[in-house]
């Protein structure tokens, strides 16, 4: 790997942590106002580790969520030239991440129904949370907040 790729990976990690934190805030608010019950990261942990206690589930769900958000962010940071990174492309990327998850791998693994058949409140919440994720990601990388 050359230094440019490594620098993009490092920037992606920092931006991914910020973007995932912003997304987590949206999910926390949605949970408090009862728009969603259990957050999807908890449902994912349930699918793989169904017998762990709730406290451990929440910890693993948070770790997995930040890991997944950071990995997705690295992908964005490496795939797009720096000049194309920003709020607009980041928001589009957030929508793409949502689509791949909620119409793709989550239903394929039996964790959630496809978004077009799921509870509209969860769909709207998760779509909005992914748009926040993407816009913060694009903003952070564009503004070089993570370098």
Q: And the tokens for 136?
A: 């913060």
Closest residue by Cα to residue 93 from 73, 63, 68, 119 = 73
Q: Given phi > 0 = left and psi -120 to 50 = alpha, else beta, which region is 34?
A: left
Report yes or no: 93 and 86 within 8 Å, Cβ to Cβ: no
Q: And the tokens for 127?
A: 């779509």
The pLDDT score that the predictor gives to residue 38 is 86
Q: And the tokens for 6?
A: 């490594």
Q: What is the pLDDT along the chain (147 residues), one digit of tens a residue?
A: 567 778 777 888 889 999 999 999 999 999 999 999 888 999 999 999 999 999 999 999 999 999 999 999 988 988 888 889 999 999 999 999 999 999 999 999 999 999 999 999 999 999 999 999 999 999 999 876 444
Query: What is the pTM for the complete model shown?
Result: 0.90
Question: From residue 88, how far is each of 44, 75, 83, 127, 146 by CA, in Å?
Answer: 29, 16, 12, 15, 18
What residues does each domain of the chain span? 3-142
């Amino acid at each position: 790997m050359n230094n440019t790729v490594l620098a993009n990976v490092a920037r992606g990690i920092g931006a991914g942590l910020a973007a995932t934190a912003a997304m987590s805030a949206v999910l926390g608010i949605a949970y408090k106002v009862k728009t969603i019950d259990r957050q999807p990261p908890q449902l994912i942990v349930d699918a793989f580790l169904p017998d762990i206690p709730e406290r451990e589930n929440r910890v693993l769900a948070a770790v997995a969520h930040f890991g997944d958000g950071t990995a997705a962010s690295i992908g964005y940071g490496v795939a797009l030239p720096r000049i194309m990174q920003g709020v607009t492309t980041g928001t589009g990327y957030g929508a793409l991440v949502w689509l791949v998850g909620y119409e793709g791998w989550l239903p394929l693994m039996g964790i959630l129904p496809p978004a077009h058949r799921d509870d509209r409140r969860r769909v709207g919440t998760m779509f909005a949370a992914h748009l926040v994720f993407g816009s913060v990601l694009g903003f952070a990388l564009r503004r070089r907040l993570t370098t």
